[in-house]
Amino acid sequence: MSNESYLTRRKLLAGAGVATASSLSGCSVIENLRGFNSPPESPDKSANGITIRKVPETIEGVTDRTALVSPDVVDRLSLLSRQQVRVTRPGLNFSGHFLSAVYTVRTQGDFLNQTDKTNTLWLSESGQERINTSEGWIVQLSRFAPGEDVETTQGAIQNNELGEQYINGDETDFLFLAPHGGNIYPNTEKQAVRTATQLNNNAWLTMGYNEGGGAYDRWYIPEDEIHPISYPKLDFMVEYNFSRQEYDKLYESVVSFTQFEGDGIVIGGLAKDETKEDIRDQLRDTFSTLGTNPPVRIAYDGQFSGTDPNYLANRVSQNRYNGIRLLQSENITQNNWRDVSNSLIQYYSTYDE
């Protein structure tokens, strides 16, 4: 899809009153697009009366963030395997016990294909513990991960929620991501917003909060599993085609701001080595000017290389080979998040692939 047709489509939507736009430092933040790119059947957003069961021990690869869903619920919500769902139990949210949490679903496999159970959700014991439930509890299942109408940081904080935002800049070349913002990886969402705003480009971010701690445990989904059909604003930015299960809108270059448990900054992704080397040099120059020299390196292979095509930055970049993953230490995201943003702004101001 060309940029021209992409922009025309958005202008038509805005003109028809499908979305309301507000200004954020010159960039348009369009909200209230939940369900914009829903499957053609217009499925229900949520299903009530779902019974929790324990995942059979014979099923492998199940973590505390995996949910198996009975076929009738899959059909009712038009769920895709590996998309995210929100599971909500009755009661109150209190320290150490969450009212709701996000899981990645499985919708296929011999067990699910042969089961005669209906209105059923299978979780591991640790998965049940995340929302303080056990076998037999009745819960609600939603096909969207973020909270309903939680679109600001203040709203996410006040409601102990996962919020979602995006910036739709006038330029359409770049996309800056913060898939784990808020108190999951603090200040990464600010990096995405600041960089996109200064470049008049695009950003998508989530902001996860939970009073008393636990935002990571409650809202974190690995970046290689995040599915746009579960995040309406991400869905809008990449125009996920449900029928073809492909992206209709891709970006020339995509950067994901995230955090890791190492030192300094590690640059990964499927972007060209030359691009990663230029970003590395720009970051080193920035920190040298500040009189500090944290390690800044490129991971060409190994755990932090980011070369899996399923990483979000790779998936939504053109040809899946223009994604950058910027892994930062906690010290960097706490004390130097603006400096990292400044480096990216300077680099992309003169970007020429």
Domains of the chain plus CATH, in order, are 3-32+149-349 (3.40.630.100), 46-142 (2.40.40.20)
d(CA 333, CA 262): 12
Percent of the chain with pLDDT over 70: 86
* pLDDT tens digits for range 77-87: 999 999 999 99
Average pLDDT over residues 230-241: 94
The residue type found at 279 is I
According to DSSP, the residues that pair with 287 across neighbouring strands are none
- pLDDT of 131 over the 70 cut: yes
d(CA 224, CA 319): 17
Average pLDDT over residues 235-262: 93
Average pLDDT, the chain: 87
Q: What is the reported pLDDT for 41?
A: 57
Q: What is the reported pLDDT for 33?
A: 34
Structure tokens at 110: 């011999």
- pLDDT of 34 over the 80 cut: no
The packing angle between helices 337-349 and 273-290, to 10°, is 130
